[in-house]
């Protein structure tokens, strides 16, 4: 049954290979001072940086730069960004990059004018923003997190070894996002594949929860099928515009609150993955792929009907002569084959996890209630050990 909910998503999207030409229109509603946030040098190498700067100047904007956003944005970087935003009293934060850069921009957006420590208030205690929020716009260069159309923001504190995501409301969602699938062509294969698995897992985290048969379940299957299909094409030819555009569009809808509306959700894979990230600084999507199979195999016995449905609807498993559990397990086998085919990380060993980290990561993992079986700390340690030995 669909539970009660509020839905609102005010992000305006400009999608396509001409999307950048709408940047002036997108900027028109905002003040003159723009803080440009971006990561390393990739947007300078591929020309996006020059285009953005030119357009900002033509639109009469004053630009303040905040570069060097790392793939797992840190608390220290957040404090620095807040200082820049505050000292320059910026009117808009324009994030140019992937999910990390946009997540970071949203963190600065709520934190810059926060009284007290934003890490404590907005991440440790998950409070709702009560202070002034600086509007954010984004120019997306990598498909995966869905940050371009949601209120999510993940920040890492290396000192306390915590990586925490806060999903803020529609007042923190980007006001606009520019989505040009061509901008994703030059993403390195490792990052592309990590992004693809991140998309898939966003959907499965919302799908593998609850006993209902809602519109959401059908939509989730549709998104997963489309991601699997287009990932195969994109692996063969990263410049296949059709595949990259469909992956980009699916990414936004996998995590813009739509498919999760009115239903329970899991998110335990993300909890373990984020704890790994806090310890190893590994690429987010690969922390998810490394623990997914041990996790889903462990919870499967508690939700055979849903895993059977997944097997049939997403991976087209043939049911002839098989019992429900066999069909369900074959679905996970098909998922495993697909994961190996596109080349995601299947063992935590390959993203820097070592035996001596296991207890610490298990301690840093939040244990949630929404999945088919609530894990214990011991379960998490066993999942990590299985992944390490995979």
Binding site for its own copies (CB under 8 A): 1-19, 22, 181, 212-215, 218-219, 221-223, 225-226, 229, 241-242, 245-246, 249-250, 253, 261-262
Closest CA to 314 of 192, 194, 193, 231: 231
- Nearer residue to its own copies within complex by CB, 260 or 277: 260
- Nearer residue to its own copies within complex by CB, 201 or 252: 252
Within 13 Å, how many C-alpha atoms sit on residue 17's CB side? 8
Q: Tokens representing 105?
A: 């921009």
> Least distance from C-beta 376 to its own copies, angstroms?
32
- Nearer residue to its own copies within complex by CB, 245 or 274: 245
> Least distance from C-beta 202 to its own copies, angstroms?
14
- Nearer residue to its own copies within complex by CB, 249 or 310: 249
Please count the other Cβ atoms lying within 10 Å of the Cβ belonging to residue 18.
10
Give the bridge partners for 157, in sequence order.
162
Distance CA 352, CA 338 (A): 23
User: In sequence order, what are the residues at sequence separation of 6 or more whose Cβ sits closer than 8 angstroms to the Cβ of residue 160?
Assistant: none
> Least distance from C-beta 5 to its own copies, angstroms?
5
Distance CA 35, CA 247 (A): 29
- Nearer residue to its own copies within complex by CB, 162 or 173: 173
> Least distance from C-beta 377 to its own copies, angstroms?
35
Distance CA 97, CA 48 (A): 10
> Least distance from C-beta 172 to its own copies, angstroms?
15
- Nearer residue to its own copies within complex by CB, 62 or 226: 226
> Least distance from C-beta 106 to its own copies, angstroms?
19
- Nearer residue to its own copies within complex by CB, 142 or 361: 142
34 burial via Cβ count (<10 Å: 0-12, 13-18, 19+):
buried
Q: What torsion do the CA atoms of 76, 79, 84, 88 make, to the nearest 10 degrees? A: 180
Distance CA 14, CA 20 (A): 8
Greatest C-alpha distance within the chain: 69
* C-beta of residue 195 within 8 angstroms of C-beta of residue 153: no
> Least distance from C-beta 114 to its own copies, angstroms?
25
C-alpha separations of 141 from 65, 106, 127, 185, 267 in Å: 18, 17, 30, 9, 25
Strands 136-140 and 176-179: parallel
Closest CA to 301 of 372, 369, 368: 372
- Nearer residue to its own copies within complex by CB, 222 or 304: 222
Which run of H or of E encompasses 298? helix 284-299
- Nearer residue to its own copies within complex by CB, 212 or 326: 212
C-alpha separations of 191 from 144, 248, 282 in Å: 9, 14, 11
Give exposure, 316-339, as e/b (b: 16+ Cβ within 10 Å).
ebeeeeeeeeebbbbbbebbbebb
> Least distance from C-beta 6 to its own copies, angstroms?
6
> Least distance from C-beta 381 to its own copies, angstroms?
37
- Nearer residue to its own copies within complex by CB, 1 or 28: 1
> Least distance from C-beta 365 to its own copies, angstroms?
32
């Amino acid at each position: 049954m669909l539970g009660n909910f509020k839905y609102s998503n005010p992000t305006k999207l400009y999608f396509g290979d001409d999307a950048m030409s709408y940047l002036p229109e997108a900027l028109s509603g905002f003040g003159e001072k723009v803080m440009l946030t971006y990561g390393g040098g990739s947007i300078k190498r591929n020309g996006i940086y020059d285009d953005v700067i030119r357009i900002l100047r033509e639109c009469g904007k004053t630009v303040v730069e905040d570069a060097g956003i790392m793939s797992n944005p840190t608390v220290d970087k957040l404090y620095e960004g807040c200082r820049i935003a505050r000292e320059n009293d910026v009117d808009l934060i324009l994030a140019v990059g992937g999910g990390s850069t946009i997540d970071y921009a949203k963190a600065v957006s709520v934190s810059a004018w926060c009284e007290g420590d934003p890490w404590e208030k907005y991440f440790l205690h998950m409070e709702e923003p009560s202070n002034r929020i600086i509007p954010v716009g984004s120019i997306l260069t990598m498909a995966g997190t869905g940050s371009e159309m949601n209120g999510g923001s993940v920040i890492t504190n290396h000192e306390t070894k915590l990586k925490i995501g806060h999903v803020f409301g529609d007042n923190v969602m980007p006001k606009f996002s520019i989505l040009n699938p061509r901008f994703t062509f030059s993403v390195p294969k490792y990052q592309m594949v990590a992004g693809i698995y991140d998309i898939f897992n966003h959907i499965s985290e919302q799908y593998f929860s609850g006993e209902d048969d809602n519109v959401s379940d059908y939509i989730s299957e549709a998104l997963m099928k489309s991601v699997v299909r287009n990932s195969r094409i994109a692996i063969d030819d990263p410049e296949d515009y059709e595949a990259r555009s469909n992956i980009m569009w699916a990414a936004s809808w996998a995590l813009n609150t739509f498919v999760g509306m009115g239903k329970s959700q899991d998110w335990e894979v993300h909890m373990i993955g984020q704890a790994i990230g806090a310890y190893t600084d590994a690429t987010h999507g690969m922390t998810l792929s490394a623990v997914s199979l041990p996790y889903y195999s462990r919870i499967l016995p508690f939700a055979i009907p849903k895993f059977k449905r997944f097997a049939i609807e997403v991976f087209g498993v043939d049911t002839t002569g098989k019992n429900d559990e066999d069909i369900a397990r074959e679905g996970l086998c098909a998922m495993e084959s697909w994961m190996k085919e596109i080349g995601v990380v299947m063992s935590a060993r390959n993203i820097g996890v070592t035996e001596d980290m296991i207890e610490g990561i298990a301690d840093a993992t939040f244990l949630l209630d929404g999945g088919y079986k609530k894990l214990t700390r011991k379960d998490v340690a066993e999942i990590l050990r299985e992944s390490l030995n995979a």
